[in-house]
């Protein structure tokens, strides 16, 4: 039992004493900071608000979670209340109580700790409510349960999520946050370790989804527009290399360019308000224009003998010269530049206490571009005039501008420029690059970070085969793509003995003869006569005479007495995609051959038939072993003739693993899409539904394949499925609509397949 | 009015020479050499031929070729008539009889077998056999054949046979130099030269994008349209969008880039 003397606090002020009594606690850490937090609370909160605050603190203190949650609440709430309003407290407390009643009470502390930064991001009670809804939803769905409705295990990701919340909200809108959380819950609900990786923003797809949901203009969405912009307006075709801005808080990266290309941020938010609003894409354009301007007009200078201040001044002047020249080229850039350029107030910096050099340079930079700058400093005005004189006659050059900049530094130098406290506000021009290309150092300098040295490329181990291609996969539950979900490796199929294939063809020589007759009919006949034309190239004598007879006999003659010709070519590109999954090793029903062997025969005949027709034709096989290893086996390419090489590859086909159809179709579509042909046909020969061992929900891959069909359709590729599965009716229509055939009697596949193909392309 | 007058070019068309092409064409005509005019669409090929016809004082018969065109569309065909069939000369036959300049515009559009009928007219023989009618026409001494084609969208399918190509003397046309093109615009439409120069600048941006999603840059003809709209009081931005950008592309990215170029140029 504690004595009276121990709990007695030394607060002198009776009011403070009363407050202390009100929260009714003995926590030492709370006591240490009590006076400070109360001082803040008293300033911000109203009388009622203060009472509610103390009451809430008391309740949190009694939760049995130690001093931490109480401390966090007492420190965070006043500043959160300043943004959200005091009324929001009830809802926050409701959430705290919900957590307390669930197994998730461990998350209360991080929740309260990040309350203030989250509130500052959201800025309104309504948005805060949405945020709380997201978290409650999150909590309920990830809290584990064994006995039905009793929840027993805490949500693994929730505490981590709260820790990340301020960062996430800086990157995402609430809708984006919701999608991001949703994705994590859906994919990692039953996997605590991965769930934590996801919600600590550690795992790759967590970052990928985050990137996708970010607000602003994403580089990947506008890349082509920017390429066109560079080509069209500036006649350069530099490589654009984005860098990430999401995970680099300390050192904000700045655009720059080097031998490898123009480096620009992966996202730009819209900037400015009203007339000065600049869309993200225009910020990209401004940044690119500025860099291109440097490439065009800036000659590097030797920097060794100049101080950092001098260099900074030269950079500001040179940047302005570049901008001026750019505006000369395209006057419309002026609005964008000026909207993005800060306009520092003339008196914003106190030269007695602070280093004002940056401030002076930013003002000057503004004045050089903006005739309505309104600054009155005499030095500034005279240098603006000198700058314009210098540029009046032409482009000037970096050296002359540097001379001007140096004399400006000399003229305006102050003792305070050396101070450690530097005025930074409103001095950063964010469309400008870091000017690293402007300087050449003869010796390594030590006064500034040196930019990355060129690294010697260590000869890495030799790569085998092509690097993987990544394809998204459709998640039908959320109607979104999982970005870069599937890794597909394309390899050349190993070779076997080509004579096996020739033997197969001999075996079916009767069938081949029959096919040959159909083929001859199908062969493109260059000219087709169209008769009964009113306007045509030639008189059709038979009809003309008949009409003439009618006419002479006094009857109404048929005026359609001409005929014309039409060329009838065949321009089809075909891709045959073979499912090479394990199930093909089974014996076909009522036959002693495996499905694989029958498929092989069928493909042999089809390839022979297509070769006869002269259509562009490619064959590939696929199978998969989880999403990390989808194999795409190249058997015949468009450029290859149907000779020994492709035959040898077809002879060696083997069946293994599973059927991840969507990715293979997308990859096949990637090749078909590049063909120049009137009609593009993707034939898929499969014996079962799409499935893979890492996908428990069998609908997922069916829906993904269906999505792939839609995508291909949009790209002008007609997909058609030849299915050998007797149970195919359950799913094949879902995927392919009515573009499919189920071959029940697999033994007859060798004759069915070519016939099908011919029927499709007639 | 005689048939010949009907095909005469009566008023001088405005044509701004880019080099010595006028003199060269005159020399070719003096020797009755067939002429081929190559160049992207809307760069002034047809205007040049029209101008030369005016300058030489010869009638001009123009045929716009297309892929459904057949030899009989050029040479002529039998038509039904009250008394039976009647022969109707095609434009090529008419020109050969009358001594006109026959201008086959976009000749590659016509199929290769069609273009073969011009062969006997384009070498030393200068005759046109009408096999259906059983007649052999000697070309009039004033007759000359001029063809144009656009190598821009040349594909394997659409090219002239070597045997056709090698019967012609050739001119390569391209969009004029920026300064000259601005002058042409100003003269053709009466737009002031500063605005003309800005229009030309936009055209050049689009021409830079050729091959990056644009099959063909903005032609001088479209620039003339834009200038006419501006002259009529339409704002420069709107006129450019309407006359220069919308017609040439359906690609959203390119459209947006060009729209931005317009805004950047007409601040």
Does A229 sit within 8 Å of B257, measured CB to CB?
yes
Model confidence at A455: pLDDT above 60: no
Contacts with B70 from chain A: Cβ below 8 Å: 537-538, 564-565
Instruction: Kindly give, in sequence order, each residue whose CB lies less than 8 Å from that of residue A507, ignoring residues fewer than 6 positions away.
Output: A601
**Token couple for A687:** 């014996």
Instruction: Domain ranges for chain B, please list them.
Output: 3-172, 178-265
Nearest residue in B to A229, CA atom: B257
CB atoms within 10 A of CB B256: 17
Segment B117-139 mean pLDDT: 91
Query: pLDDT tens digits for A304-318?
Result: 888 888 899 999 999
DSSP code of residue B245: I
User: Is B265 at the interface with chain A, CB within 8 A?
Assistant: yes
pLDDT in the model for residue B47: 94
pLDDT tens per residue, range A33-89: 888 888 888 888 888 888 899 999 999 888 888 888 888 898 889 888 888 888 888
Q: What one-character DSSP code corresponds to residue B244? A: I
Confidence of residue A327 (pLDDT cuts 50, 70, 90): very high
Distance in Å, alpha carbon of A486 to nearest chain B alpha carbon: 28
Name the residue with higher pLDDT: A730 or B47. B47
What share of chain A has pLDDT > 90, as a percent?
20
| Sign of the dihedral defined by the CA atoms of residues A41, A47, A49, A55, in that order | positive
User: Which one of B72, B253, B267 has the shortest CB-CB distance to A538?
Assistant: B72
Q: For B259, which residue in chain A has the nearest alpha carbon? A: A229
Tell me the mean pLDDT in the region B214-238: 91
- The closest CB to that of A332, out of B208, B254, B265, belongs to B265
Residue A563: name the closest of A543, A528, A539 by CA: A539
The pLDDT assigned to A418 comes to 82
pLDDT of residue A145: 67
Are B256 and A547 an interchain contact pair (Cβ–Cβ within 8 Å)? no
Contact B264 A548 (CB under 8 A): no
The pLDDT value given to residue A4 = 43
pLDDT of residue A31: 85
- How are the residues of chain B apportioned to helix, strand and coil, as percentages rounded to the nearest 5? 45, 15, 35
Burial of B162 (0-12, 13-18, 19+ CB in 10 A): exposed
Residues 83-142 of B with CB under 8 A from A: 84-85, 111
Q: How confident is the model at residue B152 (pLDDT cuts 50, 70, 90)?
A: low
The yes-or-no verdict on residue A249 having pLDDT over 80 is no
- Predicted confidence at residue B158, as pLDDT, reads 63
**Chain B residue nearest residue A235, CA to CA:** B208
Chain B residues touching A567 at Cβ < 8 A = 111
B80 → closest Cβ in A229, A561, A564: A561
* Residue A6 in this model has a pLDDT that exceeds 60: no
Domain architecture of chain A: domains with CATH = 4-213 (no CATH), 217-440 (no CATH), 525-567 (no CATH), 570-626+654-761 (3.40.50.410)
Cβ A57 vs Cβ A23: under 8 Å: yes
Q: A440-448 long-range contacts, Cβ below 8 Å, gap at least 24?
A: A440/A300, A440/A301, A440/A302, A440/A303, A441/A302, A441/A303, A441/A304, A442/A302, A442/A304, A443/A304, A445/A303, A445/A304, A447/A308, A448/A308
Whether the per-residue pLDDT at A762 is higher than 80: the answer is no
The residue with tokens 């409510």 is: A129
> Please, are residues B49 and B37 in contact by the beta-carbon 8 Å criterion?
yes
CA A361, CA A405: separation in Å to the nearest integer?
Answer: 10
B244 pLDDT tier (thresholds 50, 70, 90) = very high
pLDDT reading at A458 higher than 60: no
| Closest among B235, B208, B5 to A233, alpha carbons compared | B208
Burial class for A514, CB neighbours closer than 10 Å (0-12, 13-18, 19+) = middle
- Tell me the shortest Cα–Cα distance from A388 to chain B, in angstroms: 20
Residue-wise pLDDT for A93-133, tens only, equals: 999 988 888 888 888 989 988 888 888 888 788 888 889 99
> Which one of B71, B205, B263 has the shortest CB-CB distance to A232?
B205
**Confidence bin at A512 (pLDDT 50/70/90):** confident
pLDDT at A247: 64
Prediction ipTM score: 0.75
pLDDT on residue A1 = 41
**pLDDT mean over A163-187:** 86
- Tokens at residue B22, please? 């006028």
Listed in order, strand segments (DSSP E) in A154-306 are 217-218, 240-243, 256-258, 261-265, 267-268, 301-302
Task: Among A203-207, A463-467, B128-132, name the one with the lowest average pLDDT.
Answer: A463-467
The pLDDT mean for chain B works out to 89
Q: What fold characterizes domain B3-172?
A: Rossmann fold (3.40.50)
Q: Sort out which chain B residues have CB atoms less than 8 A from A225's CB and list them.
A: 253, 256-257
> Which whole number is the average pLDDT over B23-30?
95
The C-alpha angle B258, B259, B264, rounded to 5 degrees, equals 95
Q: Which residue of A has its CA nearest to B203?
A: A232
pLDDT, one tens digit per residue, over A478-492 is 888 888 889 999 988
Average pLDDT over chain A, rounded to an integer: 85
Whether residue A174 is predicted with pLDDT greater than 90 in this model: the reply is no
Give A701-723 pLDDT, tens digit per residue. 999 999 999 999 888 888 888 88
Tell me the mean pLDDT in the region B53-61: 94
pLDDT > 80? residue A451: no
A282-308: per-residue pLDDT in tens? Answer: 999 999 999 999 999 999 998 888 888
CB pair distance less than 8 Å for B260 and A282: yes
Identify the closest residue of chain A to B256 by CA–CA distance.
A225
Report yes or no: B147 at the A interface, CB cutoff 8 Å.
Answer: no
Q: What is the pTM of this model?
A: 0.64
Mean pLDDT of A554-570: 78
- Cβ of A555: how many Cβ atoms within 10 Å? 10
Task: Report the residue of A222, A223, A232 to disrupt the B interface, i.e. the one with the largest count of B CBs within 10 Å.
Answer: A232
pLDDT digits 0-9 by tens, A334-379: 999 999 999 998 888 888 888 888 899 999 999 999 999 889 888 8
Comparing A21-30, A138-147, A748-757, B163-172, the range with the smallest average pLDDT is: A138-147
Task: Kindly tell me if the per-residue pLDDT of A586 is higher than 90.
Answer: no
Q: Which residue has the tokens 């609908």?
A: A699
Q: Report the distance separating Cα A556 and Cα A562, nearest Å.
A: 17
Q: Does B156 have pLDDT greater than 50? A: no
Dump pLDDT digits (tens) for B213-222: 787 889 999 9
């Amino acid at each position: 039992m504690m004595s009276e003397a121990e709990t007695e606090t030394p607060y002198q002020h009776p009011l403070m004493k009363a407050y202390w009594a009100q929260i009714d606690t003995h926590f030492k850490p709370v006591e240490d900071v009590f006076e400070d937090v109360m001082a803040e609370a008293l300033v911000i909160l109203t009388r009622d608000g203060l009472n509610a605050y103390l009451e809430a603190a008391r309740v949190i203190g009694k939760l049995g979670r130690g001093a931490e949650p109480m401390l966090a609440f007492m420190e965070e709430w006043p500043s959160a209340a300043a943004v959200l309003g005091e009324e929001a407290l009830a809802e926050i407390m409701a959430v705290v109580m919900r957590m307390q009643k669930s197994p998730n009470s461990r998350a209360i502390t991080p929740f309260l700790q990040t309350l203030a930064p989250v509130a500052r991001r959201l800025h309104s009670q309504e948005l805060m409510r949405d945020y709380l809804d997201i978290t409650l939803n999150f909590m309920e769905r990830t809290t584990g349960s064994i006995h039905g409705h009793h929840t027993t295990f805490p949500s693994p990701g929730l505490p981590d999520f709260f820790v990340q919340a301020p960062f996430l909200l800086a990157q995402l809108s609430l809708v984006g946050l919701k999608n991001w959380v949703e994705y994590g819950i859906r994919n990692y609900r039953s996997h605590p370790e991965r769930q934590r990786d996801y919600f600590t923003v550690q795992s790759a797809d967590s970052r990928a989804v985050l990137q996708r949901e970010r607000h602003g203009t994403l580089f990947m969405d506008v890349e082509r527009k920017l390429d066109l912009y560079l080509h069209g307006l500036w006649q350069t075709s530099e490589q654009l290399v984005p860098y990430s801005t999401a995970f680099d808080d300390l050192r904000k990266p700045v655009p720059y360019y080097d031998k490898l290309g123009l480096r620009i941020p992966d996202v730009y938010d819209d900037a400015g308000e009203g007339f000065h609003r600049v869309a993200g894409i225009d910020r990209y354009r401004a940044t690119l224009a500025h860099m291109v301007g440097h490439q065009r007009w800036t000659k590097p200078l030797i920097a060794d003998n100049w101080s950092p201040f001098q260099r900074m001044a030269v950079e500001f002047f040179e940047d302005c010269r570049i901008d001026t020249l750019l505006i000369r080229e395209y006057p419309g850039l002026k609005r964008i530049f000026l909207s993005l350029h800060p306009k520092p107030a003339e008196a914003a910096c106190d030269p007695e206490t602070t280093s004002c050099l940056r401030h002076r340079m930013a003002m000057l930079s503004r004045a050089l571009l903006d005739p309505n700058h309104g600054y009155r400093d005499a030095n500034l005005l005279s240098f603006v005039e000198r700058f314009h004189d210098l540029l009046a006659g032409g482009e000037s050059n970096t050296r002359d501008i540097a001379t001007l900049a140096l004399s400006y530094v000399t003229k305006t130098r102050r003792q305070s420029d050396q101070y450690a406290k530097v005025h930074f506000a409103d001095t950063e021009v964010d469309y400008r690059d870091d000017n690293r290309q402007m300087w050449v150092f003869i010796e390594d300098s030590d006064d500034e970070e040196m930019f990355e040295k060129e690294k010697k490329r260590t000869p890495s181990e030799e790569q085998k085969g092509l690097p993987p291609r990544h394809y998204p996969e459709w998640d039908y539950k959320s109607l979104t793509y999982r970005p870069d979900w599937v890794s597909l490796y394309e390899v050349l199929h190993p070779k076997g003995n080509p004579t096996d294939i020739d033997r197969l063809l001999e075996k079916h020589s009767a069938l081949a003869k029959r096919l040959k007759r159909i083929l001859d009919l199908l062969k493109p006949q260059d000219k087709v006569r169209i008769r009964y034309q009113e306007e045509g190239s030639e008189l059709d004598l038979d009809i003309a005479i008949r009409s003439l007879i009618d006419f002479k006999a006094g009857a109404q003659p048929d005026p359609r007495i001409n005929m014309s010709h039409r060329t009838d070519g065949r321009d089809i590109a075909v891709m045959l995609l073979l499912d090479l999954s394990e199930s093909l090793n089974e014996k076909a029903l009522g036959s002693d051959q495996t499905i694989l062997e029958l498929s092989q025969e069928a493909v042999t005949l089809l390839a022979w038939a297509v070769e006869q027709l002269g259509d562009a034709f490619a064959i590939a096989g696929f199978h998969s072993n989880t999403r990390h290893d989808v194999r795409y086996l190249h058997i015949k390419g468009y450029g290859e003739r149907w000779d020994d090489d492709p035959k040898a590859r077809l002879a060696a086909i083997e069946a293994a693993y599973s059927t991840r159809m969507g990715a293979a179709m997308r990859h096949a579509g990637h090749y078909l899409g590049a063909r120049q042909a009137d009609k593009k046909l993707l034939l898929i020969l499969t014996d079962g539904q799409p499935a893979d061992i890492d996908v428990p929900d069998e609908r997922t891959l069916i829906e993904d394949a269906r999505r792939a069909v839609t995508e291909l359709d949009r790209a002008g590729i007609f997909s058609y499925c030849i299915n050998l599965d007797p149970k195919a009716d359950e799913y094949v229509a879902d995927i392919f609509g009515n573009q499919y055939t189920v071959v029940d009697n697999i033994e007859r596949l060798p004759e069915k397949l070519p016939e099908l193909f011919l029927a499709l392309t007639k | 009015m005689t048939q010949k007058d009907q095909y005469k070019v009566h008023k001088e068309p405005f044509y701004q020479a880019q080099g010595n092409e006028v003199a060269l064409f005159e020399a070719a005509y003096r020797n009755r050499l067939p002429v081929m005019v190559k160049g992207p669409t809307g760069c002034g090929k047809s205007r040049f031929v029209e101008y030369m016809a005016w300058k030489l004082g010869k009638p001009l018969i123009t045929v716009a070729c297309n892929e459904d065109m057949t030899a009989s569309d050029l040479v002529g065909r039998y038509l039904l008539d009250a008394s039976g069939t009647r022969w109707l000369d095609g434009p090529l036959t008419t020109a050969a009889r009358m001594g006109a300049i026959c201008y086959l515009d976009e000749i590659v559009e016509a199929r290769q077998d069609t273009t073969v009928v011009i062969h006997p007219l384009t070498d030393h023989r200068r005759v046109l056999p009408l096999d259906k009618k059983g007649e052999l026409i000697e070309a009039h001494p004033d007759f000359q054949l001029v063809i144009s084609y656009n190598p821009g969208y040349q594909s394997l399918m659409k090219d002239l046979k070597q045997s056709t190509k090698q019967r012609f003397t050739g001119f390569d046309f391209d969009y004029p130099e920026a300064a000259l093109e601005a002058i042409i615009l100003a003269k053709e439409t009466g737009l002031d030269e500063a605005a003309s120069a800005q229009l030309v600048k936009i055209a050049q941006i689009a021409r830079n994008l050729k091959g990056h999603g644009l099959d063909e840059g903005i032609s001088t003809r479209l620039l003339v349209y834009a200038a006419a709209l501006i002259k009529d009081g339409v704002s420069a931005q709107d006129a450019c969008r309407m006359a220069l950008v919308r017609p040439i592309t359906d690609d959203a990215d390119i459209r947006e880039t060009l729209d931005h170029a317009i805004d950047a140029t007409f601040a």
